[in-house]
Chains A and B, each alone.
Chain A
Amino acid sequence: MSKLLDSVKFDADGYLDDPNQWTEELAKEIAAREGITLSDRHWVVINYARNEWKTKGEAPTLRNITKNTDVDTKELYGLFPGGPGKLAAKVAGLHKPTGCI
C-alpha cells in the first residue's frame, strides 16, 4: 500500500474518514485501488461531487450528477463501473451516500 493512502484514515467500507484531507493526488490513488485510471471525464464528476459536498455537506445522487453535468447515466456507469454513486463518492473523498432509506 502506498504511503499516501497509509497517511489517512478510511472507514470500514473504504470511504475517507475526513473529506477535508482529500487531495487530487489522493483521488488518483483511491481510484487506482478501485481499478480506475482517472480521465478528464472522471474529473468532471469528481469536481462536481466535491463542490456539492462543499455547499450541501453530502455526496450528490446519480440523478443530481446527471442533471447538472454533461455526463449522462450510461457514461457514469462506464466511468465508475458497478455503483457509480458510491464509487464516485469514494474517489472524491466523501462519505458513503445516504440517499436511500
Chain B
Amino acid sequence: MKTFLVLGAGTGGTMMANKLAKRLDPQEWKIILVDKDETHYYQPGFLFIPFGFYKPEDVVKTKKAFVPSNAEFILSDIELIEPDANKVTLTSAKRVIQYDQLLVATGTDIRPGEIEGLAGAGWHQNIFDFYTYAGSVALSKFLSTFRGGRVVINVAEMPIKCPVAPLEFSFLADYYFQQRGIRNKVELIYTTPLSGAFTKPKASEMLGGLLEKKGIHIEPDFAISDVDAGKNVIYSYDGREISYDLLVSIPTNMGADVIGRSGMGDDLNFVPTNKYTLQSQKWPNVWVIGDASNVPASKAGAVAHFESDTLIENIERSIHGQALQETFDGHVNCYIETGFGKGLLIDFNYETEPLPGTYPLPVVGPFSLLKESTVNHWGKLAFKWIYWNILVKGLPMPVPSRMSMVGKRA
C-alpha cells in the first residue's frame, strides 16, 4: 500500500483530497489528510463580518464534513517534514508518516510580529486585522460602537492573500459608514507599499479611480517601518507618519513555520514551485497548491481551484512515469465588492493583465469585467454556495481552468 499525504485541510488540501480519492486506486493508495484545526473557515466571508453583512456563524463548518470517506483525517500540527527521507513527523504523539507522494497545502498566515509595535498594546484594541476569524469578529464589535475619526487601512508588505481584499474593505467601509450616517465624520486613508491601488496597470488605474470617487485618500509607496500604539501613529521607512483612530492592518503574510523549519521555503516560508507544473522545484514527489507556493499568482481560493486541475493530471502522470504537462497559466478570477450592492470582476493570468469586457461569454456575460455592476455582486454572494457545495468537494466548476481571451477587450 502506498501513501499519499496531504498537509493542510484548507481550501486547496480539501479540494485535492477529494479529487485524489476519486482518481487514485483505493487498492493501491491510502490518502492521509493532516490539519491542526478542526474548523474550516469560508475565508472570503471574513471581509463581510466586520460590517455585520455576514454573521460569524455563516463562515464556519467542520473540516471533517469535507474529508472523503476513504481518506484518514488526522488532527495535529506538523513538527517536521524531511523530503529527502519522504518522512513527516507530526506533533501529536510524535507520529511518523512515511509517504510516497506529498502535497503541501499549508497555506499562509498573517504575522503581525514582523512589524515593530503592531502586535503590541494596540492589537485588537484599536488595531485589527480582518484576515483571521478572531480579527474580523473583534473588528465588528469595535466598529459597531465607532462614532467617527480617522480609519487607516495599511498593507504592510507584498505578497498577501487575496490582494484585492484591502481595497474591498475600503470600499465597503465607505458604504458602511454612509449607511450609518456618519461618513462625514470618518476619514478613510488607504496606505500601500505599491505605487498604486493594485499591481496590474489597467486594474490599478480603475481601482485607484474608484478610491478617489469614494473619497478614500490613497498613500502609495508607503512601506511601514513601525507602529507607535501609544501615540496611535504609523511610520514609513522614508519618514512619513500617519496618525489613526482605527488601524486596519494587513500584516506581513508568511507560509507555515514548519516549511521554514524543514528548510523547504524561501524568505517568507513559501515553497519554491514550478509555476507551470506545480511540482516542487527540488523534490519530484512533492507538490504544492495554493497560498503555500511561491508561484507569482494571487493567493486565493479560485487560484487553488484552477491549480487543482493541473495538479491532479500531473500527479497521475508522475505516478505512471509520464512527462508532466505545463498547463497552469496563473489564472486568477476574482469578484471585488465595491459597496452599494455592486461589484467588479477581474480575470487574468501570468501573461495577461486584467482587461475590460464580459465573462465568461462575449457580450452577454453575464458578468462584466473591470466595470461595476449588480450582477457581479450577486456573483460574489453566490460564490459562498459554490465554495461549500462544489469547490472544496473537488467537483467540476462550470468555467474553464485556463484563462480565455473570449469576451476581453485588449
Nearest chain A residue, comparing its CB with the CB of B160? A100
- The reply to whether A100 and B159 contact each other, CB–CB distance below 8 Å, is yes
- The reply to whether B158 and A100 contact each other, CB–CB distance below 8 Å, is yes
CB distance from B357 to the nearest CB of A (A): 21
A53 to B394 alpha-carbon distance, docked (Å): 38
- The reply to whether A83 and B195 contact each other, CB–CB distance below 8 Å, is yes
Known A63-B157, A77-B223, A83-B195; contact A101-B238, beta-carbon cutoff 8 A: no
Chain B residues whose CB sits within 8 angstroms of the CB of A77 once the complex forms: 223, 237-238
- The reply to whether B199 and A100 contact each other, CB–CB distance below 8 Å, is yes
A82 located at the interface, meaning its Cβ lies under 8 Å from any Cβ of chain B in the complex: yes
Nearest chain B residue, comparing its CB with the CB of A76? B237
B241-271 contact mask (Cβ, 8 Å, vs A): 1 or 0:
0000000000000000000000000111000
B298 located at the interface, meaning its Cβ lies under 8 Å from any Cβ of chain A in the complex: yes
A87-101 contact mask (Cβ, 8 Å, vs B): 1 or 0:
000000000001111
A70-82 contact mask (Cβ, 8 Å, vs B): 1 or 0:
0001101100011
Docked complex: B299-315 residues within 8 A CB-CB of A: none
A67 located at the interface, meaning its Cβ lies under 8 Å from any Cβ of chain B in the complex: yes
Known A81-B238, A82-B238; contact A101-B296, beta-carbon cutoff 8 A: yes
Chain B residues whose CB sits within 8 angstroms of the CB of A76 once the complex forms: 237
Nearest chain A residue, comparing its CB with the CB of B238? A77
CB distance from B302 to the nearest CB of A (A): 14
| Number of A interface residues in the complex (CB < 8 A) | 16
Nearest chain A residue, comparing its CB with the CB of B297? A101
Chain B residues whose CB sits within 8 angstroms of the CB of A63 once the complex forms: 157, 267-268
Nearest chain A residue, comparing its CB with the CB of B266? A64
A74 to B116 alpha-carbon distance, docked (Å): 13
Chain A residues whose CB sits within 8 angstroms of the CB of B268 once the complex forms: 63
- The reply to whether A101 and B199 contact each other, CB–CB distance below 8 Å, is yes
A83 to B223 alpha-carbon distance, docked (Å): 9
A63 to B194 alpha-carbon distance, docked (Å): 15
- The reply to whether A100 and B194 contact each other, CB–CB distance below 8 Å, is yes
A84 to B223 alpha-carbon distance, docked (Å): 10
Known A101-B159, A101-B296; contact A73-B199, beta-carbon cutoff 8 A: no
CB distance from A96 to the nearest CB of B (A): 11
Chain B residues whose CB sits within 8 angstroms of the CB of A67 once the complex forms: 267
- The reply to whether B237 and A98 contact each other, CB–CB distance below 8 Å, is no
For A64, A67, A99, which residue has the most chain B Cβ atoms within 10 angstroms? Answer: A99
- The reply to whether B163 and A101 contact each other, CB–CB distance below 8 Å, is yes
B268-289 contact mask (Cβ, 8 Å, vs A): 1 or 0:
1000000000000000000000
- The reply to whether B298 and A74 contact each other, CB–CB distance below 8 Å, is no
Known A63-B268, A101-B199; contact A73-B237, beta-carbon cutoff 8 A: yes
B58 located at the interface, meaning its Cβ lies under 8 Å from any Cβ of chain A in the complex: no
Docked complex: B319-339 residues within 8 A CB-CB of A: none
* CB-based closest 10 A-B pairs: A100-B158, A77-B237, A63-B267, A64-B267, A101-B296, A100-B199, A101-B298, A77-B238, A100-B159, A67-B267
Residues of B that sit less than 8 Å from A by CB? 157-159, 163, 193-195, 199, 221, 223, 225, 237-238, 266-268, 296-298
Q: Name 6 extra pairs, CB < 8 A, besides A63-B157, A83-B195.
A: A61-B267, A63-B268, A81-B238, A100-B158, A100-B163, A100-B193
| Listed A/B pairs (15) with beta-carbon separation below 8 Å | A63-B157, A64-B267, A74-B225, A76-B237, A77-B237, A81-B238, A83-B221, A99-B159, A100-B163, A100-B194, A101-B159, A101-B163, A101-B199, A101-B296, A101-B297
